[in-house]
Structure 1
Amino acid sequence: MTDLFQEPEDATPLEPSERDGLLQSWITIRSDLNEAEQENIVKAAVWARRRRVREPIDLLNDNFARMLHKRMFGEVWKWAGTYRQTERNIGIDAYRIPAVTPELLSDVCHWVEHRTYPSDEIAIRLHHRLVSIHPFPNGNGRHARLLADLLIENLGGDSFSWGGGSLADVGALRAQYVAALQAADGHDINPLLAFARS
């Protein structure tokens, strides 16, 4: 039996007040939590892809970003879709999130409009900066990956493979993903671009 709230070493743990937001009493072990979250994420992806999104700006706004997170985790966590209120060992100060997240989404709209980068790179830069902000208590990587997939699809590309496996558990694939994120932190986006298409 694994501890319900035991995160991989490179993941950010939930605060006790955030743990209290678990909605499903049947979830008692980590595998139950992973399964419930994944089921919720699949439903959210279907919902997002069924929406009539004509322009990238329809995806790249604060309301949609928060609604997507709520759709991804709202059947599991009470705080889904709301910005974190607590400090983390990653991300920006919590009080800055409501200003910085819309600013990022506006930047990405500008990149799309002016073709600042190739489409894949725009989506991956969105992903990286969103993960760097770390706006939600949990699920930031999964949220940023789905939003990047939705954007690249809207721009006429194929969704990313993200290494072709599950990034939820400790392992070589997750380590490769984290290393690619760290390279992007150091201003080298190429490993993350390569990982997203591997």
Structure 2
Amino acid sequence: MSDPLFDDDDEANTPLTAEEREQLIPSYITLRHELNEAEQVNIGQGLRWAASRKRDVIDQDFLSELHRRMFGDVWRWAGVYRTTARNIGVDAYSIRMDVRQAVDDARYWAEHQTYAPDEIAVRFSHRLVAIHPFPNGNGRFSRLVGDLLARQLGRPVFTWGRANLVNAGETRARYVAALRLADNHDFGPLIDFARS
């Protein structure tokens, strides 16, 4: 049976388990556009929280709190690492360790100027979306982390193709293609997309 709230033909979106779907907080949401709108409002609150004072983006506790602030009014599992398998990302049992390694790597890159600031921010963002630590919202979360880290490193936030990538068709396809190239260690297209 078709569910207008959770049916999605975008292969890049991560499907939720039945248990995760049951953790939707607002009872008025019955359609996908209502869910997108509620999440977008909550993401704005998360951004305001993150920007309200100086915070260290390269911190595992900050990352979980940011995800909670971005999605906590919509999903009970917000900010909590997933415990189920996905069509993308690492095995659930290794999430905590992989996020810790990503944080340590990004901290090293920043302290030792291993890469240019934009590349550090994009590499960290990519690493987080590749890990896929949360049940959902990983792309939006990782892009905001990239923006916040770019700003922390003295650069302007990214434009990410100048579109909301949730329903952006061709722009989203370019983003996903750039992510796939970065999966194979070719970060140039993802950096270019982030600044396009």
Query: The TM-score by the shorter chain falls in which range?
Result: over 0.9
Which residue type is aligned with residue 5 of structure 1?
Answer: F
Helix, strand or coil for the counterpart of 1:167?
Answer: coil
Moved >3 Å (runs of 4+): none
- Residue aligning to 1:10: 12
Between the two proteins, the alignment pairs up a number of residues equal to 194
Shift of 1:116: 0.2
Separation in structure 2 between the aligned mates of residue 68 and residue 43 of structure 1, nearest angstrom: 10
- Residue aligning to 1:153: 151
Q: Unpaired segments of 5 or more residues in structure 2? A: none
Q: Unpaired segments of 5 or more residues in structure 1? A: none
Deviations 1:61-114 (A, max 9, x none): 111000000000000000000000000111000000011101111110000000
Shift of 1:129: 0.6
What is the TM-score when the length of structure 2 is the normalising length? 0.96
- Residue aligning to 1:185: 183
Which residue type is aligned with residue 132 of structure 1?
Answer: A
In percent, how many aligned pairs have the same letter?
53
- Residue aligning to 1:172: 170
What is the TM-score when the length of structure 1 is the normalising length? 0.95
From 115, 126, 141, the equivalent of 1:143 is: 141
Separation in structure 1 between the aligned mates of residue 18 and residue 124 of structure 2, nearest angstrom: 30
From 30, 34, 37, the equivalent of 1:35 is: 37
Which residue type is aligned with residue 59 of structure 2?
Answer: N
Helix, strand or coil for the counterpart of 2:182?
Answer: helix
Which residue type is aligned with residue 130 of structure 2?
Answer: S
- Residue aligning to 1:75: 73
Separation in structure 2 between the aligned mates of residue 176 and residue 18 of structure 1, nearest angstrom: 29
Which residue type is aligned with residue 128 of structure 1?
Answer: H
The equivalences for 1:79-90 within 5 A come to 79-90=77-88
Deviations 1:112-169 (A, max 9, x none): 0000000000000001110110000000010000011011101111000000011002
- Residue aligning to 1:47: 49
Separation in structure 2 between the aligned mates of residue 20 and residue 63 of structure 1, nearest angstrom: 26
- Residue aligning to 1:196: 194
Separation in structure 2 between the aligned mates of residue 132 and residue 52 of structure 1, nearest angstrom: 26
- Residue aligning to 1:104: 102
Shift of 1:9: 2.3
Helix, strand or coil for the counterpart of 1:28?
Answer: coil
Shift of 1:170: 5.4
Helix, strand or coil for the counterpart of 2:66?
Answer: helix
